[in-house]
Amino acid sequence: MKTNAPHHLVQILLISIALASVAVAQPTGTAADSASIAAIVADLDSAWANADADRWAAHYAPDAEFINILGMLMPNMQAMRARHDEIFHGVFKGSRHHGTVRRVRFLGADAAIADVDIEVTGFSALPPGSMFIINW
């Protein structure tokens, strides 16, 4: 019985290389695309500073889900806008929001994932019933 083991090994190797090439290939955005994302993050900082929930929410799709820094889920843009209006005039009144874009990964011509560090400072208290754990 004649074996085709070397032939099959070559086929498997070529398929593996092809799949690895597809997995490594990443669409790229332009510098203008990255700048637009950074501008949105800066505008969120400004909307927070001005307690402008409408401006904050304008950057989100109507069906966007939002999980805040305490883990609360807002199921859509309107719920997120209402919650931000509440906190801007309540426990986070006068606080500052600062976003730093760490990395942007473009998924295609019209989609990207932005890894953004968010720092909220200057707040007087967390909302009642919330728990904040810091690990040193």
CATH (domain of 53): 3.10.450.50
Q: Which domain holds residue 63?
A: 29-121
Residue 9: φ, ψ to 5°: -65, -40
The verdict on residue 107 lying in a domain is yes
Does any domain span residue 45? yes
In a domain, 80, yes or no: yes
Which of 83-92, 99-108, 117-126 shows the lowest mean pLDDT across its residues?
117-126
120 vs 13, higher pLDDT? 120
Q: With respect to residue 112, please indicate whether it lies within any of the assigned structural domains.
A: yes
Question: Residue 133: inside a domain, yes or no?
Answer: no
Give dist(CA 44, CA 42) in Å, integer.
5
Beta bridge partners of 98: 119
**Does residue 1 have a pLDDT over 80?**
no
pTM to 2 decimals?
0.73
CA dist 60 to 5, 34, 65, Å? 55, 17, 9
Compare 109 and 93 and report the one with higher pLDDT.
93
- Give the confidence band of 126 by pLDDT, cuts at 50, 70, 90: confident
| SS3 category, 28 | coil
> Looking at the 3D structure of the chain, how many domains does it have?
1
- Contact indicator for 122, 91 with CB cutoff of 8 Å: no
pLDDT given at position 68:
83
Average pLDDT over residues 5-24: 44
The phi, psi pair for 33, rounded to 5°, reads: -65, -45
Q: How many CB atoms lie within 10 A of CB 32?
A: 8
| Strand-pair partners of 112 | 106
Whether residue 130 is contained in a domain is answered as: no
Query: CA-to-CA distance for 38 and 17, rounded, in angstroms?
Result: 35
pLDDT value, residue 26 = 57
- Give a yes or no: residue 10 inside a domain: no
Q: Does residue 66 belong to any structural domain of this protein? A: yes
